[in-house]
Structure 1
């Protein structure tokens, strides 16, 4: 008989370790049971994937095993349902074991544990067949939540050496396994390596086993628990005492409520931090949009337009040198921040000029407001740290927003509802955030100095800000920029914009944390040397080596930011932020001059010297480091050996920004997962073995009305059923162009492989190739250009219906440089002649049909034929071919998307070239006809023009 106690009878009891054992055993039964049943009944089906089956692939993945086939799916679901009970109990016991007074972390970890359990049920019972999107949402949510669950359990683990040892082993192995898992998944998906998916499956099963094993370690601690069931009212003996029971319940309720609300966590404090970070996000959104708005005008004027002066909008902090004005701005900084919202309102302006002026005024006020904000908070280090954290987190948030929206920021002035903009929502949140984050400042207008003496140089501090702001804007404002610097074509030998853009974002977050917790090292010369080496490696190397340098550089810049900005606030904002933004503007122009040298005064001096720009950037940062290190260490922003300071409120304040950073990084990982390409693309008419190829000069993805044009481009490319298209003037990875990549959206939305031509550090206006067919190999070329602008070319080999076909995408030099164009024609002709395979040239040649360089591109020297020799009305765009049957040719008007039409040709693989005899459309098989949608008046301004209809050849 169970013993009796004064507060009730113990009617049952058992050791807590059985919670862990039951969870572990039933969870393993779910997965291993499904594996045994699946391999017994459907072995060949579950090892089959989209590329290979048995014997190349001989072991099934987890998803294939627990998927939609009966009965293994049912076996898995039944055991997972049984697992839920022990799982919830395990989370509850872990919370009871680790809870501490005034500690939020145990509550947070318990919440994550419950969330993981619920999402597990989501991806278990909502299969990809039922609803693919929700299945993926539940799955990625579960995987992302594993990170804080694992980290939280390690942080809270009691001092038991055995348990801690195994937790470290299982968690370390778990995260280490992710690296080969991703590698072999890419080998399977991108490179289609036979057997890679089987290897991937082993790593996937290892993750499952390790995940369950990590939680199984709780058996060590739970063995010290005794779970007791008590009869408080004697109901097991037929008795009851309602009054006593109510008293006990009330007492317990008060105890629990007290524990929940006794902590120092404040939702208002978190909301303040979120508002600050969103304020920083708005600043970076407006700053990154200014160059894009300015770029529209020289782009359409084909030279200096005068509007370029708007890049100087950032120098407004010079006004803070006027004492009375500084007093007003600091005292009423809220008004300055609210006035800056004109940059977000600018999307309402119809004319490009008004939109530029509105955006420019927003940047002017935003730079003024942020400089005043930093200056006002300098007397209280923990408040200054909060503002700097918000400023840096705003950059990370802006980069993540661009990562989610295919390198466009949804609140930019070039965005609106028709092209995917979220302007109204962004503006509404900005108003709320600014009203909240500007409620108070450390200074009410008076010049309250920073604590301690000033021994650093204000001029050097300002130069340091210039280098810092330029580095953050030019290389870190988009997660794909540095990846495209090191991209050299297929086969893949380095990072991809998706998913590896998330690595850049994680490095940014890690760097910021490092700068906050190790400020002395972050501002020192040793770390500066590491950052400089990283910048040099990024500039001089390609593939993974160059990207590793990029990650080192990223960590350094974000880590140095808190020290450099806090040091600058010790001086007049005129000599630091004013000078910093002025030199920053010069750097912005310099990094455009290196590619725009043919159109700007003094351009030849900067021609192709990105290395000079990078060197100047790091020297400027070095000036800031020199200034920061000359300040006595005892007077720096923080010196806590890992603690914010001895003020509990300041410690809690820092924790809010870390929570926000964790959320942002988890969001980046989720976006990378959701955007990962499927690589299961098919051409539009495989039944005819046809290829529709096009060439289009997209004018940097800004249309005639200064709207981002990706969505309109997508629509016409899809409706024309283009299988392979070359895009020219497509390199947008510079400050002045918004650090964008149009090809990401087009490739993902249209389902196409993409090769981004010579990268941003190769000093061209860009070329790109989009293809429904796998790109087997590609090389990038910079053609001879002794005088004029560099001419980029892509030479790619595509797998078209099992036949290798070479595709060339090429942009010739400008009309003013005839010798450049002659040399380029000879180079490209030799290149085309050298391939024995069928080939297509998608090009911008700058020549008249039958004249001059045309006869080098077409004829014996190149082996190429003109798609339509009778089309005399051409100057720029040409399509040439050899070794394929040409069946059709069309010219399609551009509407207001760009300044150049679309030229499209149809070809058939594995058929002889044929002649130039034209035939009527009714003699052409339906699968080889151009869409009727563009006949007559066409649609949305796109129609067949010049000939007013497509041409077909026998």
Structure 2
């Protein structure tokens, strides 16, 4: 028995008797049970392991694969479906019967009923369609079930009669369920990805609430005595007692609580309000840290998609870790009043716990680091939500939290500008690549401690002049507007250079570069925040039309005009910040934040799918449809603005003359905005190039050119690789290099920009290539030689990934030399590769200048290969080394220049692709323009067969650096040949 004695088998049978009997085994005869009429071995076996590593049957195998186990389970589930649906309907009746006059209550009851029905159907989906039947449908049904469980739990608690015993049990079961989700996701990933072997109680509480029900079947005839609208409180229960149940209890429990501060040290205004004055040094200390809270929030929020992206990048498809994007749905817990009030009371402590997202940089394993970041984002969102929603009755404090978020976003942009589009406290940063994680963590801890020890008075909710409460508007519209607005800010305004990259074109019509384009965006953000005080302007439809036109220009027009449209849209978007956030926070917190986060999540996925359509099921629907994403985003903003028109006016910078929190915030906000804009100006001045780029070896008229696929500047261990890339490029003395998979201006890449860092640090000219709105993975060209002109191509791609190319003309030692950097399609799409390579061949063939090709073309080398021939023969180009048969995707080719060297250098753990480098010399006696393109193919191949020479026969300036021999430097070394090739 697989090494187990009968005693051990009996022991295992004794420990798991329920499983044993369920599978149909005899408990009297162990051997017979294991070998007899049951299917124990088969049921516990899965795609990872079998018995004894797996000893308990999964739901899928128990319900879908074997008779009689399958039939027993499915019959029981079918019998349970009727009572389950009846329970959903009874709960609906319980809500509407107790508050028959409340339209909002009835709408919520219908929403909860529909949600619970969908949840029940989804449960049947993953039970009856097992993973062995259809893994995709099974997982989809499970995801729908879990997503519907959150509003089910929160909605049930929110709408339940105020029965202390029932509510106590519900909260225990709810906390247990949501608390178990994190380890469950972890074990799911360990099992499904790493292949490591190894809520009924909540609903049952309804029995307590239904004590007030009496279920009767009565023939009322034509003149029934029970009026349809009568409340259930007038009906006798089975026990004969009359009970009154109040579903919606509007008692303001928060009135008796002492609230903590909104954000780490952001509530300096409350101290001024309490004490009347504060010393200048204390004010300065507080205000220096006050917007750190907003900065830390945006830092963690923007790092999460970036961390998630690492896994599908290396899996070349869905990995399972994408589920962590939905960690933000924990905000639905804000619907639990007691939990929200507890978080608000101890928000300093919860903020301190959320710093695990910053501390995660110390975790080396990428999966565990992602989990820590997801936990930090979840805690941070819940805490911010508890502060904002809890402060609905404290207008000044709520304003300060919104202020901290807004200025924290501007600060986030300024800090990223200082670090060349990287955030120094992201978990992909550390002490080796420019990170300042420890400093950010220390300041965060200091801020949390200050919040925990500070006490503030409670401020009652201000009322309107007539004594009536302020209007809230429709919570659904607020949620949609808030979710769309968060997506807009995250996707477009968490990096100052994003707008300039969206509007770029080829040389010379590139539009503003990050310097000074980034400063102009930060200035526009400051102007937008300043205008937010003019609420009459902000919520007007004329202003909305102006913003919409600006977005359309940004999306449709390249160069300076497109950038101006982006600036206009920036001012519009930032002017909405306090209005939309404040409107959002006047709504019921649980359901509002849940819908807002789901809107944000779906827009984020659509934003990714427009370029990653080849990696997701049904991705073709969103292929190259950034326009649809922007239209949906704009529709969400419309909903938010429309709803805010139905709420009481509220502004960030109020013009009240009274010395209050509002007037102080107005003054200090202006000073802070001015300081941030000034800081951005100083950063730009510091980053302005001080000298003209110069080639490494002008004495030989040498061009050293390379190609490298750099996997979005995330190394194999999920750390930022830009500094290591810079060192490799500098050590190789590259005059021209093509970088592939280099477009980082998306949420999933952190809205970064490796091009500006490498160009400035290496003192090179840069062409970013097709921008983010062109739906490619990006290609960049860096050059020590001036770029006279360039054209960005989207190569024909009818089926697979959209391929990009840069065709640039460089001024090389006074002569024009053309360079192509291209990233073609994958192996799966032959037609795409044929059309793309044919187009590249045409571009090269029709050029009159000497030519260098630096590209990614999936093919084997050799004259018999179709794609290879289309590239070399069709473009009338020389392969740099025809005898190198070990290549697959990266190729170097040339024409009209003299080849002197060729080398392949290992990637050093930065990516999974090597660096290929060629050395060429400009010929003094080069032919007149166009003459070399009329040479025959045979002459091309004859000229390509140079005899190789040894390194000691090559002048020093034409050699590759000796540091790459042997073990190399920083894991970069000559490989394949273990040395470079040289040619006379």
TM-score, L = length of structure 2: 0.68
Is 2:480 the counterpart of 1:463? Answer: yes
The 5-angstrom pairing of residues 729-744 of structure 1 reads 729-744=741-756
Q: What CA deviation, in whole Å up to 9, does each residue of 1:757-812 have, x standing for no partner?
A: 10000000000000011111111000000000000000000111001100000111
Q: Distance in 2 between matches of 1:262 and 1:854?
A: 77
The match for 1:702 is 714
Q: Distance in 1 between matches of 2:335 and 2:472?
A: 20
Is 2:518 the counterpart of 1:501? Answer: yes
Q: What CA deviation, in whole Å up to 9, does each residue of 1:155-183 have, x standing for no partner?
A: xxxxxxxxxxxxxxxxxxxxxxxxxxxxx
Shift of 1:313: 1.9
The match for 1:745 is 757
For the 8 Å contact 1:331–1:444, the answer to whether it is kept is: no
Structure 1 window deviating more from structure 2 (432-441 vs 359-368): it is 432-441
SS in 2 for 1:886: strand
The match for 1:82 is none
For the 8 Å contact 2:809–2:817, the answer to whether it is kept is: yes
Match of 2:559 among 543, 549, 558: 543
Computed over aligned residues only, the root mean square deviation of the Cα atoms, in angstroms, reads 2.1
The match for 1:871 is 884
For the 8 Å contact 2:817–2:850, the answer to whether it is kept is: yes
Q: What CA deviation, in whole Å up to 9, does each residue of 1:705-728 have, x standing for no partner?
A: 000000011111111111100000
The structure-2 alpha-carbon separation of the partners of 1:421 and 1:449, relative to structure 1 and needing over 3 Å to count, comes to farther
Q: What CA deviation, in whole Å up to 9, does each residue of 1:221-266 have, x standing for no partner?
A: xxxxxxxxxxxxxxxxxxxxxxxxxxxxxxxxxxxxxxxx999875
Shift of 1:455: 4.2
SS in 2 for 1:377: helix
The 5-angstrom pairing of residues 768-917 of structure 1 reads 768-850=780-862, 851-910=864-923, 915-917=945-947
Is 2:316 the counterpart of 1:286? Answer: no
SS in 2 for 1:419: coil
Shift of 1:644: 4.5
The structure-2 alpha-carbon separation of the partners of 1:485 and 1:653, relative to structure 1 and needing over 3 Å to count, comes to closer
The match for 1:521 is 537
For the 8 Å contact 2:396–2:661, the answer to whether it is kept is: no
The 5-angstrom pairing of residues 596-675 of structure 1 reads 596-631=612-647, 635-638=648-651, 643-644=655-656, 646-675=658-687
Match of 1:373 among 358, 382, 387: 387
Shift of 1:626: 1.2
Q: Distance in 1 between matches of 2:608 and 2:641?
A: 26
Shift of 1:849: 0.4
Q: Distance in 2 between matches of 1:440 and 1:464?
A: 34
Structure 1 window deviating more from structure 2 (319-328 vs 412-421): it is 319-328
SS in 2 for 1:566: helix
Match of 2:740 among 709, 723, 728: 728
For the 8 Å contact 2:335–2:588, the answer to whether it is kept is: yes
Q: Distance in 1 between matches of 2:559 and 2:784?
A: 24
The 5-angstrom pairing of residues 347-426 of structure 1 reads 347-426=361-440
Shift of 1:431: 1.5
Where relative contact order (Cα < 8 A, 6+ residues apart) is larger, the structure is: 1
Match of 1:938 among 944, 968, 971: 968
For the 8 Å contact 1:916–1:953, the answer to whether it is kept is: yes
Match of 1:299 among 302, 305, 313: 313
Shift of 1:270: 4.6
Q: Distance in 2 between matches of 1:650 and 1:436?
A: 23
Unaligned ranges ≥5, structure 1? 1-260
The 5-angstrom pairing of residues 77-92 of structure 1 reads none
Q: Distance in 1 between matches of 2:369 and 2:914?
A: 27
Q: What CA deviation, in whole Å up to 9, does each residue of 1:566-588 have, x standing for no partner?
A: 11111122233332122101111
Unaligned ranges ≥5, structure 2? 1-274, 927-942
The 5-angstrom pairing of residues 329-344 of structure 1 reads 329-344=343-358
Any runs of at least 4 consecutive aligned residues in structure 1 with deviations exceeding 4 A, and if so which? 261-267, 437-451, 911-915
SS in 2 for 1:918: coil
Q: Distance in 2 between matches of 1:338 and 1:455?
A: 32
Q: Distance in 1 between matches of 2:504 and 2:371?
A: 36
Match of 1:925 among 945, 950, 955: 955
The match for 1:568 is 584
For the 8 Å contact 1:595–1:765, the answer to whether it is kept is: yes
Q: Distance in 1 between matches of 2:459 and 2:378?
A: 20
For the 8 Å contact 1:783–1:791, the answer to whether it is kept is: yes
Shift of 1:332: 1.5
For the 8 Å contact 1:594–1:608, the answer to whether it is kept is: yes
The structure-2 alpha-carbon separation of the partners of 1:369 and 1:263, relative to structure 1 and needing over 3 Å to count, comes to closer
The match for 1:478 is 495
Q: Distance in 1 between matches of 2:314 and 2:810?
A: 35
Q: What CA deviation, in whole Å up to 9, does each residue of 1:344-370 have, x standing for no partner?
A: 100010111111111111100111111
SS in 2 for 1:418: coil
Q: Distance in 2 between matches of 1:303 and 1:858?
A: 29
Structure 1 window deviating more from structure 2 (857-866 vs 682-691): it is 857-866
The structure-2 alpha-carbon separation of the partners of 1:571 and 1:475, relative to structure 1 and needing over 3 Å to count, comes to same
The match for 1:346 is 360
The structure-2 alpha-carbon separation of the partners of 1:802 and 1:386, relative to structure 1 and needing over 3 Å to count, comes to same
Shift of 1:458: 0.7
The 5-angstrom pairing of residues 191-270 of structure 1 reads 266-270=280-284
For the 8 Å contact 1:269–1:653, the answer to whether it is kept is: no
Q: Distance in 1 between matches of 2:601 and 2:276?
A: 51
Match of 2:332 among 314, 318, 332: 318
For the 8 Å contact 1:843–1:877, the answer to whether it is kept is: yes
Q: What CA deviation, in whole Å up to 9, does each residue of 1:342-399 have, x standing for no partner?
A: 1110001011111111111110011111111111222232222211111011111111
TM-score, L = length of structure 1: 0.70
The match for 2:940 is none
For the 8 Å contact 1:520–1:639, the answer to whether it is kept is: no
Shift of 1:327: 2.0
SS in 2 for 1:528: helix
Q: Distance in 1 between matches of 2:281 and 2:390?
A: 25
